[in-house]
Structure 1
Amino acid sequence: MGFAVCVFSSLLIFPMWASDELHRSTSTKFDKLACCIEDCMKAYFSAVSENESAPRINVGDCKSVLHSKSSDESLANFARWEPWHGKFGLNYPWKKYIQIGERIRELASIILSMQECVKSPLQSSTPLKHVIKEPCTSVALSLGLTMRELGTSIMNMKRCQAKAITVPKLQSIKLELIILSTSSNLKGTANAESLDVANFLFLLMKIVDKMEVLAKEVDELGEVAGFQSK
């Protein structure tokens, strides 16, 4: 009797759908990585004296995203067999969620590399960091905002207008980073310091590249899933 009541409640009164969980977890990953990018930037540019330890970076969210593949695939497999319910109709494109998940994990791996760069003992001098601090901080804020917009687009099932707005903005950000990396202000410095800054800027550009691909994937999801236009 108790088992029957439990099954009845799970299916009809308080159903727990794999599709709902996959949809929610996919959208929240964007905010997690946005926070990771912003935290990396704060840690890298924090003024640290010789007697202080570097700010601690929480890598838990980034690693949880990186290790989410099996969970995503299991949820997608269950979601394909669920009946039409709520906002998810028949033949809903759950495969696109798997593809987006792959792109998100690729982005997470780059962010983890940046976190290792931030924790590296071969840090550049404070004056050299000061040269790139303002533009890089601005870039991080823009990337964080863009990531959250993409996540919100999925959560609310509204088109993100990637081709018209997001991709051009990311391309503009990358151009800024390219100009910054070739700036005369970064030339003539010690080799170790130049390498540190060059590596940091390279990883930041890799993040921008991966976000551009991710934005296109989210836009494609909106198209095939019939998301509403904003």
Structure 2
Amino acid sequence: MFNKFHAGMEMAMDRNGDSTNTMGDCGKRIKIFAQKMKRFPGLVWPMMWKVGREDPRRVIHSLKVGLSLTLVSLLYLMEPLFKGIGQSAIWAVMTVVVVLEFTAGATLCKGLNRGFGTLLAGSLAFFIEYVANESGRVFRAIFIGAAVFVIGAAATYMRFFPYIKRNYDYGVVIFLLTFNLITVSSYRDENVLRIAHDRFYSIAIGCGVCLFMSLLIFPNWSGEDLNHSTVFKFEGLAKSIAGCVDEYFSDSNTEVTEVKSSEDPIYEGYKAVLDSKSIDEMLALHASWEPRHSRYCHRFPWQQYVKLGAVLRQFGYTVVALHGCLQTEIQTPRSVRALFKDPCIRLAREVSKVLMELADSIRKRCHCSPVILSDHLHEALQDLNIAINSQPRLFLGSNNNQATNMLALAAAHASQKQQKGSGVSLSSVKTDSSALSDWKTKRDSEQSKEAERKFLRPQLSKIAITSLEFSEALPFAAFASLLVEMVAKLDQIIEEVEELGRTACFKEYQHSDKIVVTCETPRINVAQNNLPSHGPD
């Protein structure tokens, strides 16, 4: 009896202890949440300041949206306007929320799609209603159902057409929505046509306010953003190339450590090029809707910008491969790299200079220099060729002594780490092909030693590579070939830029100041990244 009472007391104490611990945890969580709430205002204001400072157009666009919503709200707030429009005034507010975008091209695309889709759907619904009214009620229901089926299926099938999907998909969706609302509702409600009439007027008012704000009040043009985005990509590629070569031939002997891609300035330089396909196509689509707003009213060559972006991405893949040479497992010794340092750095500087010249010509909208591929670039190529030809033994794999030394170091390193990790020692380390055959025999006979095999496999892979008569300058040969490949691809980029200048009627070439290429990445905002969310499409 006493034991049962004692056990019950212990259980009660355990429950009390658990509840006390739970209450303590809740108290700690509440305290942490209160501390975060106290710091919340101090975190919000710096973020708001940073977003506005990066692109002041965001602040202006926010004010434009607020002003537009205030104007269309007057349809509700002012009694004379409310009597004329009625409850349909809410559609004007919804139109502003959905249609008013960051750039004028995006607003025109959505606004005109919404307006024409509503107009076409209303006109077709009026025709269906007129035909259905001439028949009996049963036939009217059948006719309306058949019309909804045929129009819905046909319009949905048209959305799969590439041209319709790219330019008018939003308009087709609005057409389907409006047509079904009017046609189906007209069977039960006799005033639905008048409601649709008022709704169309309210949507027209909302679209008008959006177009007025986008085109006349501090407009943001998609074409301008596409031009700035292209300039930014040229400058990013130039700085990535310069950064790769500087790091490859740097004198520091520190080991390469893993860094996050977002913190690597070389990666940041070409990242915008690799991710530019969807952004370029979206900006080009919106630019195709914009009117001719330049001084000379020239048509914006948005298709040529898309072609130029595709060529830049092909060039960017070469820069990615060049950056990959910095993190390869087998590296050329720095003593060997030093033999080719000057011609490689000079060639990279000339390639970067050409890219910066092209970026400057697009920014200023003038034709690029006719001698942009100057003699300096060809001289740098010749110097690199002479430097490589002057060291034929490095690229023919005849330096067997140094290769053997590298193999011995790798084998000793594998033996030392294996002794520390698994406690099993290798009696000897061979540096020729017999070491590989012996290891295969030993591996087949000792399959039970799983840890040893897993650890030594990557080390023996390096031994296998270095034991072959590969040249230690082979990784540098890949690096140099990528530099030469960039020079070959510059011709195609220059041709596309020249074609862009002819299509856009750029002004004649004006000599620019000396351009200095550094590894710092510029911060230029692309409009597609600035698009705020205003609700569902």
TM-score tier by shorter-chain length is: 0.7 to 0.9
The offset of 1:192, in angstroms, is: 4.4
Partner of 2:269: 61
Instruction: Rate the CA distance shift 1:4–1:109 in 2: closer, same or farther, 3 A.
Output: farther
Structure with larger Rg: 2
Partner of 2:68: 2
Secondary structure, counterpart of 2:294 in structure 1: coil
Q: Deviations over 1:135-167 (max 9, x none)?
A: 111111111111110011011011113xx4123
Q: State how 1:61-210 maps to structure 2 within 5 Å.
A: 61-87=269-295, 89-161=297-369, 164-169=370-375, 170-184=377-391, 186-187=394-395, 188-189=398-399, 191-210=470-489
Contact kept? 1:167, 1:215, Cα under 8 Å? no
Q: Does 1:14 align with 2:218?
A: yes
Higher relative contact order (CA 8 A, sep 6+): 1
Q: Deviations over 1:74-120 (max 9, x none)?
A: 11111111001125734332211111101111111110111111111
Instruction: Rate the CA distance shift 1:94–1:173 in 2: closer, same or farther, 3 A.
Output: farther
Amino acid in structure 1 at the alignment position of 2:346: S
The offset of 1:210, in angstroms, is: 1.4
Instruction: Rate the CA distance shift 1:43–1:107 in 2: closer, same or farther, 3 A.
Output: same
Query: 1:27 pairs with 223, 231, 234, which one?
Result: 231
Q: Which structure 2 segments of 5+ residues have no match?
A: 1-66, 72-99, 101-209, 404-469, 510-537
* Larger displacement relative to structure 2 (54-63 or 151-160): 54-63
CA distance in 2, matches of 1:113, 1:139: 17
The offset of 1:17, in angstroms, is: 1.0
Contact kept? 1:80, 1:91, Cα under 8 Å? no
CA distance in 1, matches of 2:501, 2:365: 7
Contact kept? 1:149, 1:160, Cα under 8 Å? yes
Q: Deviations over 1:22-56 (max 9, x none)?
A: 0111111111000000110011011232x543696
Q: Does 1:227 align with 2:506?
A: yes
CA distance in 2, matches of 1:90, 1:227: 10
TM-score if structure 1 supplies the norm length? 0.88
Instruction: Rate the CA distance shift 1:102–1:205 in 2: closer, same or farther, 3 A.
Output: same
Secondary structure, counterpart of 1:193 in structure 2: coil
CA distance in 2, matches of 1:216, 1:176: 26
CA distance in 2, matches of 1:182, 1:54: 33
* Larger displacement relative to structure 2 (105-114 or 164-173): 164-173
Amino acid in structure 2 at the alignment position of 1:166: I
CA distance in 2, matches of 1:18, 1:55: 38
Amino acid in structure 2 at the alignment position of 1:196: P
Contact kept? 1:38, 1:144, Cα under 8 Å? yes
CA distance in 1, matches of 2:314, 2:373: 18
CA distance in 1, matches of 2:492, 2:383: 19
Secondary structure, counterpart of 2:486 in structure 1: helix
Secondary structure, counterpart of 2:371 in structure 1: helix
Instruction: Rate the CA distance shift 1:116–1:79 in 2: closer, same or farther, 3 A.
Output: same
The offset of 1:200, in angstroms, is: 0.4
Contact kept? 1:48, 1:54, Cα under 8 Å? no
* Larger displacement relative to structure 2 (172-181 or 93-102): 172-181
CA distance in 2, matches of 1:219, 1:52: 44
- Measured on the aligned residues, the alpha-carbon RMSD in Å equals 2.4
* Larger displacement relative to structure 2 (174-183 or 17-26): 174-183
Amino acid in structure 2 at the alignment position of 1:2: S
CA distance in 2, matches of 1:4, 1:95: 38
CA distance in 1, matches of 2:296, 2:69: 28
Instruction: Rate the CA distance shift 1:180–1:106 in 2: closer, same or farther, 3 A.
Output: farther
* Larger displacement relative to structure 2 (126-135 or 177-186): 177-186
CA distance in 1, matches of 2:384, 2:495: 21
The offset of 1:179, in angstroms, is: 3.7
Query: 2:495 pairs with 213, 216, 226, which one?
Result: 216
Instruction: Rate the CA distance shift 1:102–1:24 in 2: closer, same or farther, 3 A.
Output: same
